Structure 1
Amino acid sequence: MLPVAELHLHLEGTIESDLLVTLARRNDIALPTYDPVELTARYDHFADLQSFLDIHYANLTVLRTEQDFYDLASGYLARAAAAGVRRAEMFCDPQTHLGHGVPLAAVFDGFSAAIADAESATGISADLIVCFLRDLGGDAAEELIRAALPFRDRFIGVGLDSTEIGYPPRLFETAYSIAASEGLHRVAHAGEEAGPDYVWEALDVLGVERIDHGNRALEDPVLVQRLVDEQIPLTTCPLSNVYLKVVDDLADHPLPRMLELGLRATVSSDDPAYFGGGVDDNFAALRNDLGMSETDLATLARNSFEAAFVDDTTRAGWISELEG
């Protein structure tokens, strides 16, 4: 099992069906069924990103209290540590929970306590990246970053997720400018559904340091050369791309081509409760189904550490472990 950093992980997308049922009963929230097997069975037939998001956001109504967020993050971090994850930079979507009447303090306190306890128990290093929901627009993103700043010590960066097409990065320039002024890291989903122009905007307008997904960047040779020259990481999610029909089959995934081109590609699980498992399952699929070599897999793992938002000494320690 390779040591890795997981850099594209939505905490809300780690909610396993048994925990979903537990939280629904705890908070008296109705579910279509309380059978975890039946709940999980619904995840096999996503037609596209939006069909997944419809189920995903409906499930998140069960998250109501600080304890709920603690339980959610604790479950993921325990599974991740067991799967070889040394570093987790985890997305969270506070706007979703604010819309359910949950105060920001409950979100940040629950997640932060889980991170501290997991580090103590397993040694895993983890931090939060606060994401803006694209479909809520730029004004809402600006409102969120200002509301989140009193919790500035609880997160290291901002991101951009949810429905991509129709919500170009430029709509969020002000929110990202505020984040930059606070010294926060900046990443964004781009090039999963929309084309290379969204990747260009994320780089040039938002000033992002990583591109989340980035598959369609390969359609633009000039963009590819820039990503190679500047070694801007792409946080790819192979099993997610299959489940959401971004690619028809894992054999069609552009990841091998990314490595051939010299792109700093990494591998993560995206929303593991919905998309076939954790980062270790993604690596196993790349090895067993896509036929990637152990050398390429080690390169992907090294890239993940190179792309992580950590100090050079910590990074070097993980790379030494990988190469040992």
Structure 2
Amino acid sequence: MSIAPARIDEQTIRALPKAEVHVHLEGTFSLIDLLTLAKENGVALPGPAATLFDISTHTDFETPEVTTGGGTGTGSAGLSGFLRFLDWQCGLVRTPEQAARVAYAFAARQSASGVRYSDVIVNPTHWNAWRGRDLALMDALSAGFDEAEQDGLCRVGIAYSLLRGQTAADAEDAVARLADASLRRVVALSVDGDEKTTGRTGEKFQNAFAIAASAGLHRTVHAGESSGPEGVWDAIDLLQAERIDHGVRAIEDDALIARLIADGVSLGVCPRSNITLGIYDGWASHPLPRLLAAGVRVTLNTDDPAPMGTSLEADWAVAADQFGFSHDDMVGFARRSLEASFADDDLKRDLLTELEAVVTASTAAEVTA
């Protein structure tokens, strides 16, 4: 009689040093963050505090201007409410001190999940109080990340994200200012938003991403989520993407799979987000195992964990349970997350060494048990 493999629990996952490379700062505000900020600014909540994250119940948010960008994109009515919610909550951050506090809280939450390094995506179009002051926002967030690092918490790099609905001129101006400023924690350029609504935007942002590459910034692109494989092709061919956020629809194109493997482009996959927002009907239909089996470099991430009621270790544990992943598979996800991150070479080497030491100690403990 065969014995079922032991479940990979969240404690085991937290013990693995790892990175998270596809997570939006806008999607990490906790309930206490929002309540505190609302009180400080004298802003009424858009609904009962107990159901604040049930964004399907809210249609009105106190935002000066509703954007159409965000970390996810299905083009559904649910997405519209979700994006309004992000605008509302980010609009509560109005001072440098508040921005720094949000950044510090993010690093603390990542550390609690065993995350040693994060590339966090920040889309300034959500932060209404910082319109025209996006570089000041980056500085304020960096101050919070600096304090967190000094306190021994997760180290963080910022991926400054363009909005798909921006004009080419606006995008190029933003990236040129980023390049001139050489902000210490801005390590990459990103673009996010609803592919289904905007259509293909690779050509529009080609010059902006070329400026970023010339300035030494990494490039990561949301693609292959609500759009098909064509968005991933554009990200690679037009935007010089080193990493794709989502990219799951690449499974529909064998030639694209071969290209991802040949170029070593990793996919920052977020299964719970894909399922919650209707990209796939459920875990059984999600292509994560097929992407891995094909040889694509895949990492596991949360996307927008707070409004989805999850954490990185919870999502890894569910994936292990749903797909039958072993502890060795989890170690593989941890290793790939560090390798795919935009951490500097020294930090990446140190974290990979730490991971191997944890795995060796764990194996030795099992042998002597």
Normalising by structure 2, we get a TM-score of 0.82
Residue 102 of structure 1 and its aligned partner are, at CA, apart by 6.4
The residue number in structure 2 matching 1:314 is 347
Deviations 1:217-237, CA, capped at 9 Å, x for gaps: 110000001111222110011
Q: What corresponds to 2:177 in structure 1?
A: 147
> Contact 1:108/1:151 (CA < 8 Å) preserved in 2?
no
Answering whether residue 236 of structure 2 is matched by residue 203 of structure 1, we say: yes
Mapped to 2, the partners of 1:173 and 1:105 lie a distance apart of 22
Q: CA RMSD in A?
A: 2.1
Unpaired stretches in structure 1, ≥5 consecutive residues: none
Partner of 2:270: 237
Q: Are residues 43 and 4 of structure 1, via their aligned partners in 2, closer, same or farther at CA, if it must alter by over 3 Å?
A: farther
**1:181 aligned onto 2:184:** no
Rate the CA distance shift 1:106–1:20 in 2: closer, same or farther, 3 A.
Answer: farther
* TM-superposed deviation, 1:272: 1.0
Higher helix share: 1
Q: Which residue of 1 aligns with 2:27?
A: 13
Distance 2:100 2:337 in 1: 26
Whether 2:192 is the aligned partner of 1:161: answer yes
Contact 2:94 2:129 in 1 (8 A): no
- 1:43 CA displacement: 6.0
Q: Tell me if structure 1 keeps the 8 A contact 2:139–2:183.
A: no
Give the partner amino acid of 1:280: E
Following superposition, the deviation at residue 150 of structure 1 comes to 4.5
Answer yes or no: is 1:39 the counterpart of 2:72.
no
- What letter corresponds to residue 113 of structure 1 in structure 2? A
CA–CA distance in structure 2, aligned partners of residues 290 and 204 of structure 1: 32
Answer whether contact 2:56 2:81 (CA < 8 A) is retained: no
Q: Aligned AA for 1:41?
A: D
Render the CA deviation track for 1:32-89: whole Å, top value 9, x for unaligned: 13x4322023369985544422322232221211112112111111010111001101
User: Equivalent residues in 2 for 1:257-296 (5 A)?
Assistant: 257-296=290-329
Question: In 2, Cα distance between the equivalents of 1:44 and 1:76?
Answer: 26
Identity within the alignment, %: 37
From 254, 257, 260, the counterpart of 1:221: 254
Contact 2:220 2:241 in 1 (8 A): yes
* Corresponding letter in the other structure for 1:214: G
Q: 1:92 aligns with which of 122, 125, 128?
A: 122
Q: Equivalents in 2 of 1:18, 1:246: separation in Å?
A: 30
Deviation at 1:313, TM superposition (A): 3.8
Counterpart for residue 53 of structure 1: 83
Which structure has the bigger radius of gyration? 2
- Among residues 101, 119, 125, which one is paired with 2:149 in the alignment? 119
CA distance in 1, matches of 2:20, 2:260: 20
- What is the match of residue 109 of structure 1? 139
Q: Which runs of 5+ in 2 are unaligned?
A: 1-13, 59-75, 358-369
Aligned length: 323
Question: CA 1:99–1:174 in structure 2 vs 1: closer, same or farther (change >3 Å)?
Answer: farther
Q: Could you list the per-position Cα deviations for residues 198-242 of structure 1 after superposition, in whole angstroms to 9, with x for gaps in the alignment?
A: 101110111110011000011000000111122211001111112
* Change over 3 Å in CA distance of 1:70–1:96 after alignment to 2: same
TM-score normalised to structure 1 length:
0.92
* Residues 313 and 101 of structure 1: CA distance in aligned 2, closer, same or farther (over 3 Å): closer
Kindly indicate whether the alpha-carbon contact (under 8 Å) linking 2:275 and 2:281 is maintained by their aligned counterparts in 1: yes
Cα separation, 2, equivalents of 1:24 and 1:143: 32
Q: 1:41 to 1:94 in 2, by over 3 A?
A: closer
**Residues 44 and 243, structure 1, Cα contact 8 Å, conserved in 2:** no
Contact in 2 for aligned 1:134/1:160 (Cα 8 Å): yes
